[in-house]
Amino acid sequence: MSNLTLYGYGESVASNMARLALSEKKIKFNYNLVYLESKGDHLRDSYKKLNPKTLIPTLLADNKPIPDSIEIMKYIDKEFPNQGESLFPPDDTEFNKLLDYLFLDDEKELGETFGTTGGGISIPVLARLLCKRSFFSVLWDYLKNHGVNKRKPIFIMVRLLGGPPPGVYKKMMSFLAKHLIYTENYLNHGKQFIYGDSYSAADCCLTALLHRVQEMRFYGVFDGKKLPNLSKYWNNISSRPSYTEAIINYETGEWKPELIGLYGEGPNDHNDLLWTEINKLIEEK
């Protein structure tokens, strides 16, 4: 059996996807916490050697680094075929299309897919964490060390403004509304999981995304009223042991105070806008 170490961060959508997969496959691993915006641990040379894009997660398997959540899922599914859930159906174009839509694709624009929207809706918290560091250390670190060129100006701008650039978060609400409705309709198939009757890598992605929706205090999405399929799906998926094991148990605690600072005990300040967008789409149908 290989010796596995995961490099990840608690409140990270892509790390949650990989940890869910490890949990569903009942695989034990060592864990290395890499602090992102608040400290910039992922931008250090030692981590860049493992993951040249300076993104998390990375799985170290017998000293071989495997960057990217989907690659990690593929690797463990192949290495441990008879353990836990089987995450990938044999070559299936429809499944691959769904996965492309749900995973956090760092080549795509924020909002383009559900996966990248998970990053977009997180910006208010990321901004506050970045603001724990001086503007010049963020500027220097991201310009010099970040491995994805198109992310550099985004993080620097967000640090400068202390929040999302004007209009960007509003735009994220219309993307999020669109993706929630798309997923709600996809689930019209009435099956237990997003790709049918068995749990798959697509569920790892969707669970992490829906958790982020809830974490960012978008209320009413899972109350069963307007999006009944999503609510049913969420109840099912969040009651699996993997949800606690892979997501809740790994929270660093860095996000909670920032969310309270942003929204107190209430909903996201764009919650009403999200619902205006969702209602518009429901009426158009």
Ligand X SMILES: N[C@@H](CCC(=O)N[C@@H](CS)C(=O)NCC(=O)O)C(=O)O
Judged by the rule CB under 6 A, the positions of this chain that interact with ligand X are: 12-14, 36, 42, 55-57, 68-70, 103-106, 146, 151
The nearer residue to ligand X, 105 or 112, going by C-beta atoms, is 105
The nearer residue to ligand X, 74 or 151, going by C-beta atoms, is 151
The nearer residue to ligand X, 72 or 227, going by C-beta atoms, is 72
Identify whether the C-beta of residue 115 lies closer than 8 Å to the C-beta of residue 212.
no
From CA 91, how far away is CA 2, in angstroms rounded?
A: 25
Shortest Å, Cβ 233 to ligand X: 21
Identify whether the C-beta of residue 109 lies closer than 8 Å to the C-beta of residue 116.
yes
Q: Please provide the size of the chain in residues.
A: 285
Query: CB neighbours (10 Å) of residue 16?
Result: 29
Shortest Å, Cβ 9 to ligand X: 7
Longest dimension (CA), the chain: 54
The nearer residue to ligand X, 104 or 173, going by C-beta atoms, is 104
Shortest Å, Cβ 62 to ligand X: 20
From CA 208, how far away is CA 192, in angstroms rounded?
A: 17
The nearer residue to ligand X, 31 or 223, going by C-beta atoms, is 31
From CA 71, how far away is CA 99, in angstroms rounded?
A: 12
DSSP string, 75-120: HHHHH-TTSS-----SS-HHHHHHHHHHS--TTSPTTSSHHHHHHH
Shortest Å, Cβ 124 to ligand X: 15
- Which residue bears the tokens 């608690």? 10
Shortest Å, Cβ 132 to ligand X: 14
Shortest Å, Cβ 15 to ligand X: 6
The nearer residue to ligand X, 56 or 230, going by C-beta atoms, is 56
- Decide: helix, strand or coil at residue 237: helix
Identify whether the C-beta of residue 131 lies closer than 8 Å to the C-beta of residue 140.
no
